[in-house]
Amino acid sequence: MSDLSQYIFSGLSVGCIYAFVALGLVIVANVTGVYNFATGEYVMLGGMLFAVSAAAGWSLWLATILAVVAVAAVAVLQERLTVAPVRGKLSSLGLVIGTLGVGVAIRGAALLIWKEDPRPGPAYQQGLFKFLGASLTDQVKWVYLTTAVALVLVFLLFRFTSVGRAMRACAINPVAARLAGIRLGRMSMVSFALAGGLCGLIAAVTANLSLIRWDSGITIGLVGFIAAALAGFDSPAKAVLAGLFLGVLENLAAGYISSEYSKAIVYGTLIVYLLARDLAGEEGIIRRTLLRRRASAAGSEDAGDLRIEVRSRIHAVEDYVRLRTQERIEQAGGIGRRALATVDPRRVGLMKFLPLLFVILLWIYPQTTSDQAQLDAAVFIIIAAIAATGLGLVMGLAAQFSLGQAAFMLISGYASAILTANHGWDPLAAAAVAVLLSVVIGAFVGWLTLRLEGLNLALATLAVLVILGVFVLQQDSLTGGAGGLLGVPSLKLFGQEIVEPRSYYRFCLVILAVCMLVARNIYKSRMGRSLKAIGIDEEAARSVGLNAWRLKMKIFVLASAMAGIAGVLSIHYLNFVGPDSFNVGLTINLVTYVVVGGVLSPYGGAVGAVVVGALLFYFREHVGASVGGNSSTWDVFISGILLVIFVLLFRDGLASIPGKLNALVKRKLGKAPAQEPEGPVDDESEVLGGDALGASATLKVTDGDGSATRSLEPVRHETPVVAVEGLTKRFGSLIAVNGLSFNLRPGYVTALIGPNGAGKSTVISLISGTLSPSEGAVGVMGQPVVGRSARQIAELGLARTYQTPRLFEGMTLIETVMLARDRFGSRAWLTDAALRTPRALREERESHDQGLAWLAFVGLADDADAQATSLPVGKQRMAEVARALAAEPAILLLDEPAAGLDGARSE
């Protein structure tokens, strides 16, 4: 009993730190929407200031006040410099990465100022006391008392003061708060100050319980993040309880299992919680499965035959559209496409040769130096560029924030080292097996975590890295433990060891060039287009049948492979692997490389790694020692500052500079797009295709050679293609849809009429799978669809538009329509994209032509290469219709299709 009490009460004292960090995170996240990765560094900074000032002779009370005020000031400075200027202009992912950079910069500044030596903090009160069998220091009384008083004061602040009520209003409804006259900027500043002050306070009170180092904040902050995540980032009380729980859990695990595995257990708790919430949440897999089992078919058994009949009409309409498109091209006299003007995607320009020039310059670099340190640094820069290229695909294309890239480097590095050093394998064979292992584990990790989004994915992948780090540290017999594995042999190629630095550098550079080519091919493929759309608006992408999870999975596995290759190359050059080779710091460095190089460029990771790596090496060798500090103490600080600067001021990264300069030169030279050719053009009524899809139309389709004309009557059938029975949707106490039942039959137009707010758009979302109903059944083509995803329902032949057009920012109109065709291509997405196979090129041309034809059908071929979201609302709405038609739907759900259109288009 005494041991249990000891573990619990000692754990509570540590848990108080986690609770304050979690509380600060939740306060800031609720008021500003920012998940502040620098919060843990607030605790480190407060502890350092308290210890240093106390050691300088300050009274403990003055030292405590200094810690609170100084950390609060740093937090306010962070908000004013890195949050306020970009509020509403930067994505949530960008803000998170920005706070990560601030945290790294604070950590680097602490290293520069206070060096690596740990600092002890004095106790407020000396002595011991016994409580329920536990022996505790008198300082613990101050920890518990401070925690209790601070929490009461925070509660009173939010409950009974105008500032607190304003902060709560910002958390509940920021728009309404702004309309009520509450200044969000001021509340944001107050929330950061409060979070900083709380962290500074708990840091001073607990400084005596453990030694304070420059890197203490990262561990404290990550566990605090876990506590906030367990609380859902929305409840301060739950965040505090979660922090206390994790402190106790960590101590119990250390006492009863192993102190070495306590961190792994804490991070494992996060993974289990996040996955359980994903499975059993409001829109989780379990609830969808139960809904699907309870749902009736809500349709006839012969709907399968009906689907074939409806699809035959769709294909006939497509033939008609293509034929009319070809006629219009011929009418233009063969000298161009006025209404179908597009830029030839195969046009070769100077910009396309810049990546090759980049690789050539890297190839000749070793000839410019004989310095061993420079050559070693160059090798590791190229290796880091390989891993960063993979991470760039995850962050840029898939728009996923992963902090686990170093985990796959660790897996492959240790696997290859164990096979070669311990079991005598050939290095090349071991490397191949090691990379394959990182791919398999990457697929497993992706399968577990990619259903999570945003910050939760980042925390889950980081947890995987930490758990693996604990494992390799503790398995002495397998991994060498803290000492690592020595005697790892060099790689052999054609029987010759690659030992000489220049040879190894160029070997790595060839692999980097291949990775860059693969990344470039994927960016320019249907896979890249689909992933961009998913990253911009996943719901709209799912509505055209794109499998978001599967595509993210493929790119995640590819990134794992690139990380695995980098891990193998690293350890075979060093001839050593240790637990510090692949840590959290490496993952953060890889994120920095991607951001500096350009998140949205296939070459961003490589460019960032080369530029940042070269800059840091130059600073270490030529500047760092002269301004203070040893050769590497400036690295952390500079990396953090670069990350913040590029997130805030240059979000497109270095890889975008050539393109921007090229566009600037063209503007200065006055180069304008080529003039459209003169010639007759059909009027818009012909472009729109008349009543080609009308419910009462008889479509006459002429064969391409003009030899025959056949009539295609509308499909008329009594079997419903959509059946709705007792459909109900509740949002809390609000009933949006109540017991609705109706059928949609083929060949008929059915209108759903009601006033604003009646729930019409909600009904469309329920049928299309965007929302799950509270009660009732929905059948599409005779299949029960309640519980199915929007992608699965789209594959049954249903397409929809939205009340407010949801196109994809940054994508052209033709790309937006081509998205609807992407799911009809080969299933070998990754292979075709990476290798640009003939099949992939053929499918891309066909998709382009089909998309162009549908744009012509709705009268938007002139705008094919325009940015989709830059068009007037009326054209955006017609573009949504074209995208829906391109998906070959048997059922078309149009949400207020005539809104924003002129009279002719409405008719």
Under the banding of pLDDT at 50, 70 and 90, the label for residue 293 is low
How much is the pLDDT for 318?
58
Rounded Cα distance between 26 and 191, Å, is 10
Pick the CATH number of 2-256 from 1.10.4100, 1.25.40, 1.10.260, 1.10.3470: 1.10.3470
Given a cut of 50, whether residue 324 has pLDDT beyond it is yes
Rounded Cα distance between 759 and 866, Å, is 33
Question: 361-379 pLDDT, tens per residue?
Answer: 999 999 998 899 999 999 9
Question: 462-520 pLDDT, tens per residue?
Answer: 999 999 998 998 888 899 888 889 999 999 888 788 889 999 999 999 999 999 999 99
What is the mean pLDDT of the segment spanning 102-120? 90
How much is the pLDDT for 430?
96
Among 607-611, 720-724, 895-899, the range with the most confident prediction by mean pLDDT is 607-611
How much is the pLDDT for 342?
42
More confident residue, 825 or 889: 889
Where helices occur in 475-628 by DSSP H, the ranges are 476-479, 501-523, 526-536, 538-543, 548-574, 584-597, 604-618, 625-627
Judge if 2-256 and 375-666 fold alike in CATH terms.
yes
Under the banding of pLDDT at 50, 70 and 90, the label for residue 285 is low
How much is the pLDDT for 685?
38
Given a cut of 70, whether residue 112 has pLDDT beyond it is yes
How much is the pLDDT for 632?
65
Residue 749 contacts residue 323 (beta carbons within 8 Å): no
* Neighbouring C-beta atoms of residue 907, cutoff 10 Å: 9
Look up the pTM and report it: 0.87
Copy the structure tokens of residue 675. Answer: 């003039």
More confident residue, 636 or 699: 636
Q: Which CATH class is domain 295-303+717-906?
A: alpha beta
How much is the pLDDT for 284?
58
Element (H, E) at 225: helix 216-230
Given a cut of 80, whether residue 42 has pLDDT beyond it is yes
At position 760, the amino acid (one-letter code) is K
More confident residue, 220 or 337: 220
What is the mean pLDDT of the segment spanning 283-308? 55
Under the banding of pLDDT at 50, 70 and 90, the label for residue 300 is very low
How much is the pLDDT for 562?
97
Residue 785 contacts residue 779 (beta carbons within 8 Å): yes
Given a cut of 70, whether residue 905 has pLDDT beyond it is no
* Neighbouring C-beta atoms of residue 423, cutoff 10 Å: 8
Question: What distance lies between CA 494 and its chain's CA centroid?
Answer: 41
Under the banding of pLDDT at 50, 70 and 90, the label for residue 263 is confident
Given a cut of 60, whether residue 156 has pLDDT beyond it is yes
Beta-carbon contacts of residue 250 (< 8 Å; ≥ 6 apart): 11, 14, 223, 262, 263, 265, 266
Domain range list for the chain: 2-256, 295-303+717-906, 375-666
Residue 609 contacts residue 388 (beta carbons within 8 Å): yes
Given a cut of 60, whether residue 662 has pLDDT beyond it is yes
How much is the pLDDT for 822?
86
How much is the pLDDT for 687?
42
Given a cut of 50, whether residue 200 has pLDDT beyond it is yes
pLDDT averaged over every residue in the chain: 84
Instruction: With CA atoms as reference, report the closest residue to 141 among 126, 153, 152.
Output: 126
Q: Which of 307-311, 511-515, 610-614, 831-835 has the lowest mean pLDDT?
A: 307-311
More confident residue, 326 or 204: 204
CATH topology of domain 375-666: ABC transporter involved in vitamin B12 uptake, BtuC (1.10.3470)
How much is the pLDDT for 688?
42
Under the banding of pLDDT at 50, 70 and 90, the label for residue 309 is low
How much is the pLDDT for 454?
67
Under the banding of pLDDT at 50, 70 and 90, the label for residue 628 is low
Question: 856-878 pLDDT, tens per residue?
Answer: 888 888 888 899 998 898 899 99
How much is the pLDDT for 286?
63
Rounded Cα distance between 895 and 879, Å, is 13
Residue 16 contacts residue 242 (beta carbons within 8 Å): no
Under the banding of pLDDT at 50, 70 and 90, the label for residue 281 is low
Question: 697-724 pLDDT, tens per residue?
Answer: 454 544 444 555 555 555 555 678 899 9
Question: 518-560 pLDDT, tens per residue?
Answer: 999 999 999 999 999 998 888 899 988 998 889 999 999 999 9
How much is the pLDDT for 339?
41
For the chain, how many residues are written?
Answer: 907
Percent of the chain with pLDDT over 90: 41
Given a cut of 60, whether residue 680 has pLDDT beyond it is no
Residue 568 contacts residue 413 (beta carbons within 8 Å): yes
How much is the pLDDT for 824?
83
Under the banding of pLDDT at 50, 70 and 90, the label for residue 20 is very high
Where does residue 350 rank: exposed (0-12), middle (13-18), buried (19+ CB within 10 A)?
A: exposed
How much is the pLDDT for 679?
40
How much is the pLDDT for 626?
57
Under the banding of pLDDT at 50, 70 and 90, the label for residue 350 is low
Among 230-234, 251-255, 589-593, 646-650, the range with the most confident prediction by mean pLDDT is 589-593
Under the banding of pLDDT at 50, 70 and 90, the label for residue 580 is confident
